[in-house]
């Protein structure tokens, strides 16, 4: 029998298909016993634990003497922390950093075939960085190509994380982008325009029918040629979007940076608010009361400020950054559930840990950040099969050198990446 540890990241999916054709019972499933220094189980740290993996699931986890090594390949991970595969809460695999190509040019000038080809590389980099699941929140002009990307990963055609996809996202007419062109020209938009009762119902159902796992809506944005963001959809329109999505078992994610946009999204029943840049203590109190989670995307604002000329570490922080520090602290003080998600694509894929580091810099404890990137994201995104190291859950596991519960940057020191019992980095 061929040992799975000798398979390259590219060959294994092909061999897996071959094995399934010849042995559909799955009798060749590999068993591993992983021996790190410690295990972060998604909630707490356990010293001297081991984890046994059978096939694509965690078979057992606990003190070294309580878990059998019989029949398993033992992988020594001395000096490491083993933890659940990290969950990226806000990604755009079909985008790449704006300092390489401006967002408008990506939407208007890059062929979708080019964008998909680039996204396959982004997917691989994300997985090898230890992020075994991504919530991808909009194709930004690439139609429903996130659905095909997800299918290619699931079928073993390409390597990447498990994907939760939002397809096109919903925008109010006149509010999104690209913009600034002649009023005589209808410019393709980075999301789907829909307004009013019937059109919104159709748009939500259309996106779900095409493969959306979650519906994303822009609750505020820069109307027309205005520089400042304002609320877009009315409260009743947002409630309608949530009602239609919920009837299919899907939640709604709201882009909202303004206090009023956030308020409407919260009252409408959106499950997460993305960004929340200028929230207020009253708004964060409302989020806490309604159980609405915040995905702060700290790293995106930091990256954009640098693209606009800010020399980080050499110059004072721009007002946008100072304000974000304040509002993030207010959210923490209010007890708002914090998701980990950086708006990756604004900055480089594979550098997802940048958001986790900034969450610590902005006031969260490293252990709480790890929880956000694992069990909290799993709970908020309704992923009951992952996010913790527990028997019966998916064997999505990452080992890093050091202890990120005390030094969060250790999440970058990847020693092992496993998704569904398959080792992709070792």
Contact 410, 353 (CB under 8 A): no
Say how far apart CA 314 and CA 380 lie, in whole Å. Answer: 38
- What's the burial of 179, exposed, middle or buried (CB within 10 Å: 0-12/13-18/19+)? middle
List C-alpha distances in Å: 407 to 43, 86, 367: 16, 16, 9
pLDDT band at residue 7 using 50, 70 and 90 as cut-offs = very low
Contact 113, 401 (CB under 8 A): no
Count of residues making up the chain? 426
Beta-bridge mates of residue 198 = none
In this predicted structure, what is the pLDDT of residue 29? 66
> Per residue in 86-123, pLDDT tens?
999 999 999 999 999 999 999 999 999 999 999 999 99
Say how far apart CA 248 and CA 166 lie, in whole Å. Answer: 14
Crossing angle between the packed helical segments 259-268 and 235-246, to the nearest 10 degrees: 40
Q: Please, which residues have CB within 8 angstroms of residue 311's CB and are 6 or more apart in sequence? A: none
The residues of the chain that CATH labels 3.20.20.140 are: 86-351
Helix or strand run (H / E) with residue 218: strand 215-218
Topology adopted by domain 4-85+391-425: Urease, subunit C; domain 1 (2.30.40)
Alpha carbon 58 to its chain centroid, in Å, reads 22
Q: Please, which residues have CB within 8 angstroms of residue 183's CB and are 6 or more apart in sequence? A: none
- Residue whose C-alpha is closest to residue 334's, from 371, 262, 281: 281
Residue with tokens 């992709």: 424
What is the DSSP code string of 275-313? E-TT--HHHHHHHHHHT-EEE--HHHHHHHHHHTT--BT
User: pTM score, two decimals?
Assistant: 0.93
177's tokens: 């982008």
> Per residue in 284-313, pLDDT tens?
999 999 999 999 999 999 999 999 999 999
> Per residue in 133-190, pLDDT tens?
999 999 999 999 999 999 999 999 999 999 999 999 999 999 999 998 998 999 999 9
Q: Please, which residues have CB within 8 angstroms of residue 49's CB and are 6 or more apart in sequence? A: 36, 38, 39, 41, 61, 62, 63, 64, 82
The yes-or-no verdict on residue 19 having pLDDT over 60 is: no
pLDDT band at residue 227 using 50, 70 and 90 as cut-offs = confident
31's tokens: 């068993």
Least confident of 12-21, 24-33, 175-184, 205-214: 12-21
Least confident of 123-137, 169-183, 194-208: 169-183
Say how far apart CA 346 and CA 276 lie, in whole Å. Answer: 17
Residue with tokens 């001395």: 78
The residues of the chain that CATH labels 2.30.40.10 are: 4-85+391-425
Q: What are phi and psi of 220, to 5 degrees?
A: -155, 160
Average pLDDT over residues 213-218: 98
Q: What are phi and psi of 62, to 5 degrees?
A: 170, -170
- What's the number of CA atoms in the CB half-sphere (13 Å) around residue 17? 9
> Per residue in 395-412, pLDDT tens?
999 999 999 999 999 999
The yes-or-no verdict on residue 420 having pLDDT over 90 is: yes
Residue 379 burial (CB count, 10 A): 17
> Per residue in 312-344, pLDDT tens?
999 999 999 999 999 999 999 999 999 999 999
The yes-or-no verdict on residue 15 having pLDDT over 80 is: no
Average pLDDT over residues 16-26: 37
Q: What are phi and psi of 305, to 5 degrees?
A: -60, -40
Topology adopted by domain 86-351: TIM Barrel (3.20.20)
Least confident of 7-16, 75-84, 238-247, 384-393: 7-16
In this predicted structure, what is the pLDDT of residue 209? 98
In this predicted structure, what is the pLDDT of residue 273? 98
Say how far apart CA 6 and CA 65 lie, in whole Å. Answer: 28
In this predicted structure, what is the pLDDT of residue 11? 52
């Amino acid at each position: 029998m061929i040992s799975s540890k000798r398979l390259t990241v590219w060959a294994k999916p092909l061999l897996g298909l071959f094995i399934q054709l010849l042995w559909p019972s799955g009798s060749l499933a590999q068993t591993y016993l992983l021996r790190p220094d410690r295990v972060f189980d998604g909630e707490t740290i356990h010293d001297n634990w081991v984890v046994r993996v059978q096939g694509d699931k965690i078979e057992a986890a606990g003190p070294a003497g309580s878990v059998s090594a019989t029949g398993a390949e033992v992988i020594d991970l001395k000096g490491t922390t083993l933890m659940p595969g990290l969950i990226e809460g806000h990604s755009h695999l079909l985008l790449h950093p704006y300092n390489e190509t401006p967002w408008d040019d990506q939407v208007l000038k890059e062929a979708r075939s080019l964008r998909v080809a680039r996204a396959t590389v982004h997917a691989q980099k994300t997985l090898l960085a230890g992020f075994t699941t991504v919530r991808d929140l909009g194709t930004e002009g690439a139609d429903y190509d996130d659905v095909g990307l997800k299918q290619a990963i699931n079928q073993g055609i390409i390597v990447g994380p498990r994907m939760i996809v939002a397809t096109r996202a919903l925008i109010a007419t006149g509010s999104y982008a690209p913009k600034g062109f002649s009023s005589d020209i209808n410019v393709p938009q980075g999301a789907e325009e829909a307004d009013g009762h019937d059109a919104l119902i159709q748009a939500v159902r259309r996106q779900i029918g095409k493969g959306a796992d979650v519906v994303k809506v822009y609750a505020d944005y820069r109307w027309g040629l205005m520089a400042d963001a304002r609320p877009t959809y009315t409260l009743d329109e947002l409630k309608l979007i949530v009602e239609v999505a919920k009837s299919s078992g899907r939640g709604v994610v709201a882009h909202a940076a303004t206090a009023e946009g956030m308020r409407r999204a919260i009252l409408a029943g959106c499950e997460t608010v993305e960004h929340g840049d200028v929230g207020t203590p009253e708004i964060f109190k409302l989020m806490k009361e309604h159980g609405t989670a915040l995905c702060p995307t700290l790293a995106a604002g930091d990256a954009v400020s640098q693209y606009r000329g800010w020399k980080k570490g050499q110059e004072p922080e721009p007002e946008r950054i100072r304000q974000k520090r304040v509002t993030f602290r207010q959210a923490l003080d209010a007890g708002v559930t914090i998701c980990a998600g950086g708006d990756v694509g604004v900055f480089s894929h594979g550098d997802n840990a940048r958001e986790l580091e900034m969450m610590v810099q902005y006031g969260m404890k490293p252990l709480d950040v790890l929880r956000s990137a694992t069990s909290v994201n799993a709970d908020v995104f309704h992923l009951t099969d992952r996010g913790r190291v527990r028997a019966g859950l998916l064997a999505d596991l990452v080992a890093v050198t050091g202890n990120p519960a005390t030094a969060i940057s250790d999440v970058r020191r990847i020693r092992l990446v496993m998704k569904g019992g398959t080792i992709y980095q070792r």
